[in-house]
């Protein structure tokens, strides 16, 4: 695939050489990560690899369609701006002053020591967006023809889209269990430290799986709260939604074998499954339906993918100039880091063309009002 550096291929080859690995796939937005590349998919037999799930467990997308006219984004800009700024928080360690309510906090957080100890922090961070490439934005969703997946007629709609995950508690779960996995790694596999695995029959493996599953529920709740708060401040109702994880592990069957499929920066794309694949603040996102391609382990890209490092992006681009150019194109950025400029990302249209055999496009989302972290901090999650 064009545009994927050799380092990502090398990481994927190494991952496929892990003793418990059975098969793997690399998505067209792939770039270097820790252990498994971002955009890497790896199937393992009866084992889970914490770093193949990722630091931000259950990082995910959610798009909600709202019951207000598409042209209101311009005519009521200040209201949209205030709802984004009031409905979520950005930055490492950010919290809501008043903890938000959600049934996820009534689940059993005592399943592992780390989830028990981090529950209070998780509660305070519920409904927040973090840093790095996480965002919340309004845009116009275009549906060209009737689509039963949404139950909506053809036309243009206001939609809210968010990208966030399990925040500080998810990072703590990853750190705890990746350290355990590394401590158990036989010396002859020392070069696989970032790919250290946990046997699913062992207690650490079972604990990690329980914690990861809870983090999935928590991340989904996080988006649920964000969308609830933002839409309430806007005075709108949600009429349809689509969402998906893209940092997670699933128990699936491939080639007649039960395996654990890790998708690190990859969208589940089983036949008929709906998902959201974002581009950049200047480019569209797409609602997609999976085609169930066995060669990709029923997966697709999780976005456009970075074309350059954060440092290189900051050195190359003038954020002020980029922001002004975006505004001329109808995209108003409330806040963002200079390392998140559109030029730091691959062309989402080219990425979508590369995976036409993996997903079909159901609808297109064009960003109009974007909110990201602008304090220059690196993601904790």
pLDDT in tens, 138-165: 999 999 876 767 788 899 999 999 999 9
pLDDT score, position 162: 97
**End-to-end Cα distance, the chain:** 28
Annotation says 262 is catalytic? no
Least confident piece of the model among 58-62, 73-77, 219-223, 323-327: 323-327
Residue 379: pLDDT band by 50, 70, 90 thresholds?
A: very low
Give the chain's mean pLDDT. Answer: 93
Give φ, ψ of 323 to 5 degrees: -60, -40
pLDDT score at 367: 97
Model pLDDT, residue 59: 96
Given this model, what pLDDT does residue 247 score? 96
What pLDDT, in 10s, does the model give residues 24-43? 999 999 999 888 999 999 99
Q: In terms of pTM, does the model score above 0.85?
A: yes
What's the CA gap between 135 and 340, in Å, rounded? 10
Q: Residue 380 — very low, low, confident or very high, per pLDDT cuts 50/70/90?
A: very low
pLDDT of residue 381: 33
Confidence at residue 377, expressed as pLDDT on a 0 to 100 scale: 47
Asked if residues 282 and 331 have their Cβ atoms less than 8 Å apart, the reply is yes
Q: What is the pLDDT of residue 91?
A: 86
**pLDDT in the model for residue 321:** 85
Burial of 319-343, coded b for 16+ CB within 10 Å and e otherwise, reads beebbeebeeeebbbbbbbbbbbbe
Strand partners, 359: 290
pLDDT, position 341? 85
pLDDT at 34: 87
The pLDDT, as a whole number, for residue 311 is: 85
pLDDT of residue 376: 55
- For the residues 352-365, what does the mean pLDDT come to? 96
Model confidence at 375: pLDDT above 70: no
Instruction: Give the pLDDT mean for 241-255.
Output: 96
* pLDDT tens, residue by residue, 159-194: 999 999 999 999 999 999 999 999 999 999 999 999
Residues 201-221, mean pLDDT to the nearest whole number: 98
Predicted local confidence at residue 317, as pLDDT: 84
Look at residues 372, 381, 380, 350 and name the one whose alpha carbon lies nearest to residue 28.
Answer: 350
**Cβ(306)–Cβ(345) under 8 Å?**
yes
For residue 314, pLDDT over 60 is answered with: yes
**262 and 160 in contact (C-beta within 8 Å)?**
no
CB 310 within 8 A of CB 338: no
Q: Considering the chain, what percentage of its residues have pLDDT values greater than 90?
A: 80
- List, in sequence order, every residue forming a beta bridge with 365; answer none if it has no partner: 141, 285
């Amino acid at each position: 695939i064009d545009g994927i550096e050799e380092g990502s291929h090398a990481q994927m080859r190494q991952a496929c050489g892990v003793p418990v690995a059975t098969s793997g796939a690399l998505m067209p937005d792939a770039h270097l990560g820790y252990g498994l590349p971002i955009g890497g998919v790896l199937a393992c037999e009866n084992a889970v690899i914490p770093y193949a799930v990722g630091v931000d467990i259950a990082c995910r997308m959610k798009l909600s369609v709202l019951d207000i006219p598409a042209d209101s984004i311009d005519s009521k800009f200040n209201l949209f701006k205030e709802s984004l700024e009031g409905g979520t928080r950005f930055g490492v360690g950010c919290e809501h002053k008043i903890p938000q309510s959600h049934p996820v906090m009534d689940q059993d957080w005592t399943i592992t020591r780390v989830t028990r100890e981090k529950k209070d922090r998780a509660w305070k961070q519920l409904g927040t967006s973090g840093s790095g490439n996480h965002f919340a934005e309004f845009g116009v969703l275009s549906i060209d023809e009737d689509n039963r997946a949404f139950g909506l007629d053809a036309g243009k709609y206001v939609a809210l889209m968010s990208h966030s995950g399990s925040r500080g508690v998810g990072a703590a779960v990853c750190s705890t269990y990746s350290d355990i996995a590394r401590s158990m790694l036989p010396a002859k596999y020392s070069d696989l430290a970032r790919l250290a695995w946990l046997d699913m029959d062992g207690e650490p493996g079972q604990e990690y799986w329980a914690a990861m599953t809870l983090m999935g529920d928590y991340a989904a709740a996080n988006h649920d709260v964000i969308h609830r708060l933002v839409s309430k401040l806007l005075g709108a109702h949600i009429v349809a939604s689509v969402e998906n994880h893209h940092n997670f592990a699933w128990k699936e069957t491939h080639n007649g074998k039960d395996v654990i499929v890790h998708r690190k920066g990859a969208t589940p794309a089983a036949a008929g499954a709906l998902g959201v694949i974002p581009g950049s603040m200047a480019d569209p996102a797409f609602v997609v339906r999976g085609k169930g391609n066995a060669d990709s382990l029923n997966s697709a890209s999780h976005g456009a993918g970075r074309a350059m490092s954060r440092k290189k992006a900051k050195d190359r681009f003038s954020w002020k100039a980029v922001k002004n150019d975006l505004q001329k194109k109808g995209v108003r950025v409330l806040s963002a880091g200079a390392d998140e400029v559109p030029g730091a990302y691959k062309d989402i249209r080219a990425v979508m063309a590369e995976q036409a055999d993996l997903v079909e496009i159901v609808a297109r989302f064009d960003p109009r009002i974007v909110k990201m972290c602008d304090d220059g901090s690196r993601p904790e999650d």
